[in-house]
Amino acid sequence: MAKLYFYYASMNAGKSTVLLQASFNYRERGMNTLLFTAAVDDRAGTGVIASRIGLSAPAQAFAGDTDLFAIISAAHAATTQHCVLVDEAQFLTAAQVWQLARVADDLGIPVLCYGLRTDFLGALFEGSQWLLALADTLSELKAVCDCGRKATMNLRIDARGGAVTTGQQTEIGGNDRYVALCRRHFVAALNGAAPADLGEAR
């Protein structure tokens, strides 16, 4: 049976790289994949999945009102699709996660979603919340804090490297805006520890 998978991690854990490798593995065996990414993340261009190590691939961009089930079912009716892969899955809506569950259940196509679990204040994104609730398989990809512990949190930083503690949940950025930290150092940063002090708090 096809399943809905959620691969989650902090920033810089290689989620996009793993997604692109999975798609390559399917295509290398003559199978078709459908790739999606959030329209709001246009760092590499709208509708492009790009990894920090230089891999990239075109994808269909989704917004909050995109009917993923309709798009996937139409594509599958035209040409058999063997896997659906979704990058930046934290930006999915609850309705879209249910649509992807239907893709697995009703169309029999495995759906692999990759995304952040929590935002810059440690709160769940909508898409992540519903994927954690509905996915058949949950897998954590590992990133490492400067202290050597597993990085599970995403600290938003300002131009001086200090913690940002207010603002919109979504603010697109890379290493210039976010740092992946373990929970201990994340809390220390939110409580005012300077970046240079975090290493001393190990």
pLDDT in tens, 85-130: 999 999 999 999 999 999 999 999 999 999 999 998 889 999 999 9
| Fold that domain 143-202 belongs to in CATH | Wheat Germ Agglutinin (Isolectin 2); domain 1 (3.30.60)
Domain with CATH 3.40.50.300 in the chain: 1-141
| Fold that domain 1-141 belongs to in CATH | Rossmann fold (3.40.50)
* pLDDT tens digits, 25-73: 999 999 999 999 999 887 767 889 888 888 889 999 999 999 999 999 9
Question: What DSSP line would sit under 5-59, residue for residue?
Answer: EEEEE-TTS-HHHHHHHHHHHHHHTT--EEEEEETT--TT-TTEEE-TTS-EEE-
Residue 200: band (very low, low, confident or very high) from pLDDT cuts 50, 70, 90: very low
Instruction: Enumerate the active-site residues.
Output: 88
Domain with CATH 3.30.60.20 in the chain: 143-202
| pLDDT at 58 (0 to 100) | 92
Contacts of 51 (CB under 8 A, 6+ apart): 14, 16, 17, 20
Query: How far is the CA of 129 from the CAs of 62, 77, 100, in angstroms?
Result: 18, 30, 14
| pLDDT at 201 (0 to 100) | 42
Lowest mean pLDDT: which of 119-123, 131-135, 193-197?
A: 193-197
pTM, two decimals, is: 0.88
